[in-house]
Amino acid sequence: MLRFLTAGESHGKCLVGIIEGVPAGFNINEVEINAELKKRKIAFGRSDRMQIETDQVEILSGLNHGVSMGTPIAVMIKNQDDRLSEDNDCLMEALSSPRPGHADLAGAMKYHHKDMRNILERASARETAARVAVGAICKSILKEFNVTTYSHVLSIGEVSCPMININKENFDFFTKIIDESPIRCAIQDTESDMLDMINRAREAGESLGGCFEIGAFGMIPGLGTYSSWDKRLDASIAQAIISIPGIKGIEIGDAVINSVSPGSAVHDQIYYDEGRGLYRQTNQAGGIEGGVSNGEKIWARAYMKPIPTLKKALNSVNTNSWVPEKAHYERADVCAVPSASVIGEAMLAFVLAQEMLAKFGGDNMSELKSSFDDYLSYLKKEWRWERI
Ligand code: EPS
């Protein structure tokens, strides 16, 4: 089974990711991983930390001249702002007035830490740099099967983007705009309103959340299963996305609006045409029915809460003196939704790569590809279904 672990603190020496289960024969390179890390490091709305960090990956194991050997692949991203190492005498101020909304208080109680900096260091979303590096490896696996992913920021605070349907035809057009946008939004007018909104929040000592969409093209029916609760594809995607710091909600397809509409307006009807075979005209289900991919684009929306570190600090208590005090404030992001969207895409890529490997198996890419091609032929012959 494809799985990964990360290690590392926000201001420690480095972040590390280890991914196990990548079959032999895949091309994996630092250039592609660094390109994803650069997208995550979007500076707008983020703290000055983003100007300090370089976020360059070093692949430590698992490859022979850029090709996977079937062994665990370890990646490392060095922290420039390393303050926890013994040889670094720049000690950080102890933290004892927990921030509402942060792991500070619950984490300190759990681990018996009086200094909540010990919580912050690992609860920090800096950890997600390692996830994006691992996700980039998963994207390289998916690329071999013509599966591509995207992410798009839909809202920041109260500013929302008009609905756009990213599809196979407009994919290159929109993903280019999104990658060039400082806020990962495809609509220019919305982008400038979002930038204003973040500037105003910064001036007011506030922070902002928002919503982003993630999706994958080139899907096939049959990933995930209804047979067990923990193997449903929508459940796996939901867990992976909710695990991103700050993400509090996920909606698969049009789940929220579907919950208020009658069934006849919700379900994606099934058609057949001699030329096209089986097809759908809509995809409100987000490409998953009964916990199984149905071959349509997989898409979901994720909702992020505002960052808990606020200049306009909230009420808290000093847990040494028990005196009421404003919550701790230090350098922090105002809005990290665009970065979170890149992390969401990485996590989606991980889940889909995991499911592809679970279904098609193989220790080597060519074994995997031949079983994948056999399945595509079977779908065409027996079910008149073709990937478009
Ligand atoms: C974070 C606080 C900020 C963020 C950090 C996440 O770091 P610092 O306290 O050093 O300014 O910039 O995110 C990253 C460093 C990153 O690479 O994403 C937090 O508390 O979660």
Query: Using one digit for the tens of pLDDT, what is the confidence trace for 224-234?
Result: 999 999 999 99
The tokens for 78 are 């060095």
Cβ neighbours of residue 73 closer than 8 Å, sequence gap 6 or more: 18, 19, 20, 22, 28, 59, 61, 62, 63, 137
- How much distance in Å is there from the Cα of 49 to the middle of ligand 1? 7
Please give the model's pTM, rounded to 2 decimal places: 0.98
Does residue 14 carry a pLDDT above 80? Answer: yes
pLDDT score, position 94:
86
Ligand 1 probe mutation, 38, 42, 47, 244, most atoms within 8 A of CB: 47
Nearest residue (CA) to ligand 1, atom 14: 126
Q: What is the mean pLDDT of residues 286-294?
A: 98
Closest CA to 170 of 181, 154, 186: 186
Q: Please state, in angstroms and rounded to a whole number, the distance separating the CA atoms of residues 73 and 5.
A: 11
Cα distances (angstroms) measured from residue 245 to each of 27, 80, 121:
30, 22, 13
Ligand 1 neighbours by CB, cut-off 6 Å: 10, 46-47, 49, 53, 81, 120, 124-126, 129, 331-333
In this predicted structure, the answer to whether residue 89 has a pLDDT above a threshold of 70 is no
Question: Does the structure show a pLDDT above 80 at 91?
Answer: no
3-state secondary structure of 29: coil
Distance, CA of 289 to CA of 236 (rounded, Å): 14
Q: What is the mean pLDDT of the chain?
A: 96
Report the separation in Å between the CA atom of 67 and the middle of ligand 1, taken as the mean of its atom positions. Answer: 33
Give per-residue pLDDT as tens, 213-225: 999 999 999 999 9
Q: In what order do the strands lie in the sheet with 14-20?
A: 3-7, 14-20, 73-78, 57-59
pLDDT per position as a tens digit, 319-351: 999 999 999 999 999 999 999 999 999 999 999
Q: Which of 165-169, 203-207, 246-250 has the lowest mean pLDDT?
A: 165-169
Dihedral sign for Cα 164, 167, 171, 175, please: positive
| pLDDT tens digit sequence for 354-378 | 999 999 998 999 999 999 999 999 9
Of 156, 155, 162, the C-alpha closest to 201 is 156
CA-40 nearest atom, ligand 1: 18
| Average confidence (pLDDT) over 123-150 | 98
Supply angle C-alpha 17, 19, 24, rounded to 5.
140
Our mutation pick for probing the ligand 1 site, out of 333, 337, 342, counting the most ligand atoms within 8 A of Cβ, is 333
Bridge partners (DSSP) of residue 247 are 304
Q: What is the 3-state secondary structure (H, E, C) of 158-196?
A: CEECCCCCCCCCCHHHHHHHHHHCCCCCCCHHHHHHHHH
pLDDT at 93: 80
- Write down the pLDDT at residue 92: 76
Q: Which atom of ligand 1 lies at the shortest distance from residue 55's CA?
A: 17
Identify which of 145, 163, 173, 127 has the alpha carbon closest to the alpha carbon of residue 4.
127
pLDDT value at 40 more than 80: yes
Segment 140-170, tens digit of pLDDT: 999 999 999 999 999 999 999 999 999 989 9
Tell me the per-residue pLDDT of 54-83, one tens digit each, with 9 for 90 and over. Answer: 999 999 999 999 999 999 999 999 999 998
Ligand 1: atom nearest CA of 330 is: 9
